[in-house]
Chains A and B, each alone.
Chain A
Amino acid sequence: MSKRIELKSLDVYYKAFLAVEDVSMVIEPKAITAFIGPSGCGKSTLIRTLNRMHEVIPGARVEGQLLMDGEDVYGPDVDPVRVRRQVGMVFQRPNPFPTMSIKDNVLSGYKLNNSRMSKAEAEEITEKALVGANLWNEVKDRLEKPGSGLSGGQQQRLCIARAIAVEPDVILMDEPTSALDPISTAAIEDLAVELKEHFTVVIVTHNMQQASRISDMTAFFNIAGSGLPGKLIEYDKTEKVFSNPTEQQTEDYVSGRFG
């Protein structure tokens, strides 16, 4: 399953502060869309609106429309909990539950929907998700060990396994490799490319090489100054954004002249 996400003049607020202003874009299914831009430009804020995690922070709210395959994610009778079960998220720092085993971590999201599952079913889901996250071979002999005993890169792949175990429509990755070494980073990048076969993948990254390596579409965000809202400057195919951007700001950023 993979869904098209449509943002229609979306404004994102923290209380009275407008953090991201007037974003309109279409995020394609079965593709990787990268959000790039300098720190504070609102890309992380924006990605958190896609699964309604933004509103977890008191006073945070959204105006405008966000459609997922035509359905309004912020509709009056939409339960944010439902939305989050369809949109998986991977965070900046690997965050497996330290009190759970590797297996329980993988199943943690799945258990929310299906409290009763047979042992065989649980094993099947665990294996499928861990294989999907390229982690199975490394952990298959220690599924009952704590997830916090893995290396950083393995923990991050465990988090990805946890996210895909519930078979979501969309996977959001908020700087998933910023805390990882280059080898673990490469593993996550390869994985992201595999994931787009089945999911809509959105990735926030500070690493422009990463965006150009793996993404199909790139959105560049920028702010005019501190205290001002972040804006979507340019959104296009990744080759276009990196080789021949329309906007001067984008060119300056991707060529490393600022930011």
Chain B
Amino acid sequence: MTDTKPKVVRRLGDVVFANLAFFAGVSILATLATVAAFLFAQSVPAFTGPPIDAASEGFFSYVLPFVFGTVYASVIGLAIATPLAIGIALYISHFANRKFAQVLGYAVDLLAAIPSVVYGLWGILVLAPFLSPTFNWLNENLGWIPIFAGQVSATGRTMLTVGIVLAIMVLPIMAALIREIFLQTPRLHEEAALALGATRWEMIKMAVLPFGRPGIISAAMLGLGRALGETMAVAMVLSPAAVVSFAVLTSTNSNTIAANIALQFPEAGGNYTNLLIATGLVLFAITMVVNMIARWVISRRAEFSGAN
């Protein structure tokens, strides 16, 4: 009896599940690393190989309009979707009666299930013609604001249309997530606000929204992720030009990275393919930066998060 160390009991079930969970976690990182490695390896020839006609002025001037288009379209989409998603989530979680809230919840979830090709078609055939008169009105009356200036597109297939299509695409996932967060608001905090004499809206401002803030940011980031990577709807709606322009109503619009890859890839050969993959790498980097910013924003007020 020299060794007094307590014997650690190892149960088969614990070992199996611990390892399963470990591999699941590692496989995420491995997948990410593999994708990053692929993008890096395949991008190199675009810089080392013979010059490419499409990017005669160098890679960065080639990719810049696409980066701009990607971020711009996503930001427009998100700017429209976030307030709407918060509104829908609030309505479902705190205002609608339970039956109607359920129906509405299903409807929102259904929107998420529609493939993006359908959204693209809908954008071209329904939304663009429908919005065209509104665009003219905006241009005539608010044309002094730079983003509404310029020659209005006759087809309605503009950056703003893309932004709206993207907003509708990311809305369901955002609304569903935010709704869940809002439903988690501790009853205790809601009652604290009400007992102080808060009206329903004041209660929401005091208890629900601050509590849901990190969740709203996370939801927005997920939505942004989807918008940044969205291919088909953008490729179908926009007739792209290699420009950087903030005007959202004109027919000259910068394309997004993802849509550009989808449009060019079938005809690309040689190191043009590598060039497209390099733009994919840029998209990868944008997504990562955006997510890191979001993490930082959330962690900045972690001690006030209510998670304690």
A interface residues, Cβ below 8 angstroms from B? 51, 53, 56, 81-86, 88-89, 91, 93, 95-101, 108-109, 112-113, 145-146, 148-149, 159, 162-163, 166
A218 to chain B, nearest CB (A): 24
Report whether A97 and B189 are in contact in the complex, using a CB–CB cutoff of 8 Å.
Answer: yes
Report whether B194 and A56 are in contact in the complex, using a CB–CB cutoff of 8 Å.
Answer: yes
Report whether B197 and A97 are in contact in the complex, using a CB–CB cutoff of 8 Å.
Answer: no
- What chain A residues lie within 8 Å of B198 (beta carbons)? 81, 84, 112
Report whether A95 and B210 are in contact in the complex, using a CB–CB cutoff of 8 Å.
Answer: no
Report whether B304 and A100 are in contact in the complex, using a CB–CB cutoff of 8 Å.
Answer: yes
- What chain B residues lie within 8 Å of A96 (beta carbons)? 192
Q: How far is the CA of A56 from the CA of B308 in the complex (A)?
A: 26
Interchain CB contact (< 8 A) of B197 among A112, A145, A159: A112
- What chain A residues lie within 8 Å of B213 (beta carbons)? 99
Q: How many interface residues does chain B have, given as a range?
A: 20 to 34
A109 to chain B, nearest CB (A): 4
Report the nearest A residue to B97, measured CB to CB: A58
- What chain A residues lie within 8 Å of B202 (beta carbons)? 112
A188 to chain B, nearest CB (A): 17
Report whether A98 and B197 are in contact in the complex, using a CB–CB cutoff of 8 Å.
Answer: no
Q: Closest 9 interchain pairs by CB?
A: A98-B306, A85-B197, A99-B210, A109-B196, A89-B195, A84-B197, A95-B188, A95-B192, A99-B304
Tell me if B305 is interfacial: C-beta within 8 Å of chain A: yes
Tell me if B207 is interfacial: C-beta within 8 Å of chain A: yes
Report whether A91 and B192 are in contact in the complex, using a CB–CB cutoff of 8 Å.
Answer: yes
B128 to chain A, nearest CB (A): 42
Report whether B206 and A108 are in contact in the complex, using a CB–CB cutoff of 8 Å.
Answer: yes
Tell me if B191 is interfacial: C-beta within 8 Å of chain A: yes
- Given contact pairs A81-B199, A91-B188, A148-B308, A97 touches B210 in the complex (Cβ within 8 A): yes
A134 to chain B, nearest CB (A): 20
A115 to chain B, nearest CB (A): 10
Report whether B196 and A99 are in contact in the complex, using a CB–CB cutoff of 8 Å.
Answer: no
- What chain B residues lie within 8 Å of A53 (beta carbons)? 191, 194-195
Report whether A95 and B196 are in contact in the complex, using a CB–CB cutoff of 8 Å.
Answer: no
A50 to chain B, nearest CB (A): 11
Q: How far is the CA of A218 from the CA of B221 in the complex (A)?
A: 56
- What chain B residues lie within 8 Å of A91 (beta carbons)? 188, 191-192, 195
Which chain B residues numbered 274 to 303 have a C-beta less than 8 Å away from chain A?
A: 301, 303
Chain B 129-164: CB-based contact to A (< 8 A → 1; otherwise 0)? 000000000000000000000000000000000000
Tell me if B66 is interfacial: C-beta within 8 Å of chain A: no
A204 to chain B, nearest CB (A): 14
B interface residues, Cβ below 8 angstroms from A? 186, 188-189, 191-199, 202, 206-207, 210-211, 213, 301, 303-308
- What chain A residues lie within 8 Å of B305 (beta carbons)? 98-99
Interchain CB contact (< 8 A) of A162 among B196, B301, B307: B196
A78 to chain B, nearest CB (A): 13
- What chain B residues lie within 8 Å of A82 (beta carbons)? 197
Interchain CB contact (< 8 A) of A98 among B191, B194, B195, B304: B304
Q: List 16 A-B contacts (CB under 8 A).
A: A56-B191, A81-B197, A84-B197, A84-B198, A88-B196, A89-B195, A91-B195, A95-B192, A97-B189, A97-B193, A98-B305, A99-B210, A146-B303, A146-B304, A148-B304, A166-B196
Q: How far is the CA of A127 from the CA of B189 in the complex (A)?
A: 23
Report whether A109 and B197 are in contact in the complex, using a CB–CB cutoff of 8 Å.
Answer: yes
Q: How far is the CA of A40 from the CA of B197 in the complex (A)?
A: 27
Q: How far is the CA of A83 from the CA of B202 in the complex (A)?
A: 16
- What chain A residues lie within 8 Å of B303 (beta carbons)? 145-146, 149
B187 to chain A, nearest CB (A): 9
Report whether A84 and B195 are in contact in the complex, using a CB–CB cutoff of 8 Å.
Answer: yes
Q: How far is the CA of A18 from the CA of B167 in the complex (A)?
A: 49
- Given contact pairs A56-B191, A112-B202, A146-B303, A85 touches B196 in the complex (Cβ within 8 A): yes
- What chain A residues lie within 8 Å of B194 (beta carbons)? 53, 56, 84
Report whether B191 and A97 are in contact in the complex, using a CB–CB cutoff of 8 Å.
Answer: no
Report the nearest A residue to B195, measured CB to CB: A89
Q: How far is the CA of A13 from the CA of B38 in the complex (A)?
A: 67
Report whether B195 and A148 are in contact in the complex, using a CB–CB cutoff of 8 Å.
Answer: no
Counting chain B CB atoms within 10 Å of each CB, the highest count among A95, A100, A146, A149 belongs to A95
- What chain A residues lie within 8 Å of B192 (beta carbons)? 91, 95-97, 159, 162
Report whether A95 and B191 are in contact in the complex, using a CB–CB cutoff of 8 Å.
Answer: yes
Report whether B195 and A51 are in contact in the complex, using a CB–CB cutoff of 8 Å.
Answer: yes
Q: How far is the CA of A99 from the CA of B192 in the complex (A)?
A: 13
B68 to chain A, nearest CB (A): 36
Q: How far is the CA of A81 from the CA of B195 in the complex (A)?
A: 8
